[in-house]
Structure 1
Amino acid sequence: MNKITFKLDMDLDLELDFILVGISTTLRDYRLCHFINKKTGLNFVYGKESVLDHNGNIKLKPQEELDFHLIVEKNKNKKEILHHFQVYRYCHDNLDFEYYLVNNKSLENGTLIPEASNFDYFFLIKHYIDEEDLIKLLENIRSIKEVMLLKEIDPISLKSKENLIF
């Protein structure tokens, strides 16, 4: 019998349909969210996901998955380490847009995007945002005096880009 082998070529670029902005600051995550909320009118809340789905039903996920962005790292000894990255979210009611602020350091002291370790946080904007609105939003965040660096990053260029998919 002849054996036929198929190769599946997956394109992760389709999953990277968001704007990514790196933020360097001396502020703790909750303080940064406070200032972003104050300067932009957004309303960031703690956690990656709401406990309720779109129909108002309680999600059947562990609280850990709702609160944190979880990444499993295999170290040199092939031991798995589960990293918990703190996340804040602001999602419009009809899901026209979603904003996330993700800590670049895990509670276990790992790094979400090692090649961009100079950034403390990543600001992700999912779905469409008008260029003028984006510029105004970034200017407002840049006006926070404790924000030292704010830079838009092409997620496709990152080696660890798969860590940003959630």
Structure 2
Amino acid sequence: MYKLKSLVLEDDFKLIGIHTSLEAYKLAYLINKHFSISFERATYDLDMTYKDSFAHFPLFNYYDQNWDCDMYLIANKFSDDVPNLKSSGSLFDEAQTETQTFYLFSSMKHIDYFIKVEDELDIFDSQHILKTINSIGRIKKAYLINNKSIKNPEYLIFK
């Protein structure tokens, strides 16, 4: 008999939700500039399969040697043009596409990006970080997210 086991992540990380219309690379640049850190584009994206489509969520990472913590910036939304397979009956129709949006966490569609801070020593000053992120002009809002509200925590494992 098989038993279904759930994955339990330890609460040694902090998760920040960010609302902004910026592209991922622009957000990474602004965060780097305001915090004097160096988020870099990972060599891979977080790839997910949705029915007949694939979504590629951009991932940026940074390791702070002074604080011994890993930080990740991940997009929650991915939009792609997919072919619309409805035929009008004509032999020479142009291929029609429609834009579909996919979410890493569909229960949090209102969030555009996440910053995950792996903080085993619990030295992350969340209030200072949030205050600085919220002061960046193109960011509408940033706040801490309760780790227990995440339905698929395995999506946040990047190593």
Amino acid at match of 1:96: D
TM-score, normalised with respect to structure 2:
0.74
Gaps of 5+ in 2: 81-100
- Structure having the higher strand fraction is 2
Identical pairs, percent: 31
Provide the secondary structure at the position in 2 that maps to 1:42.
coil
Aligned partner of 1:36 in structure 2 is: 31
Question: Which of 109, 112, 127 matches 2:119?
Answer: 127
* 1:99 aligns to 2:71 (yes or no): yes
What is the aligned length? 137
Aligned partner of 2:45 in structure 1 is: 68
What does the per-residue CA deviation read over 1:75-96, in whole Å, with 9 as the maximum and x for residues that have no partner?
A: 3xxx4x3321101111135882
Structure 2 vs 1, CA of residues 162 and 38 (structure 1 numbering), >3 Å: closer, same or farther?
A: same
Structure 2 vs 1, CA of residues 127 and 91 (structure 1 numbering), >3 Å: closer, same or farther?
A: same
Larger radius of gyration: 2
Q: Is the 8 A contact 1:114 1:160 kept in 2?
A: no
Aligned counterparts, 1:85-164, within 5 A: 85-93=57-65, 96-106=68-78, 108=80, 109-128=101-120, 129-131=122-124, 133-164=125-156
Provide the secondary structure at the position in 2 that maps to 1:145.
coil
Provide the secondary structure at the position in 1 that maps to 2:137.
coil
Cα offset, 1:42, TM superposition: 1.2
Q: Is the 8 A contact 1:16 1:165 kept in 2?
A: no
Gaps of 5+ in 1: 48-65
Provide the secondary structure at the position in 1 that maps to 2:5.
coil
Ranges of 4+ aligned residues in structure 1 off by more than 3 Å = none
- Structure having the higher helix fraction is 1
Amino acid at match of 1:105: K
Tell which deviates more after alignment, 16-25 or 109-118. Answer: 16-25
Structure 2 vs 1, CA of residues 40 and 95 (structure 1 numbering), >3 Å: closer, same or farther?
A: closer
TM-score, normalised with respect to structure 1:
0.71
Amino acid at match of 1:44: F
Cα offset, 1:146, TM superposition: 1.1
What does the per-residue CA deviation read over 1:16-39, in whole Å, with 9 as the maximum and x for residues that have no partner?
A: 642111100121111111111111
Aligned partner of 1:83 in structure 2 is: 55
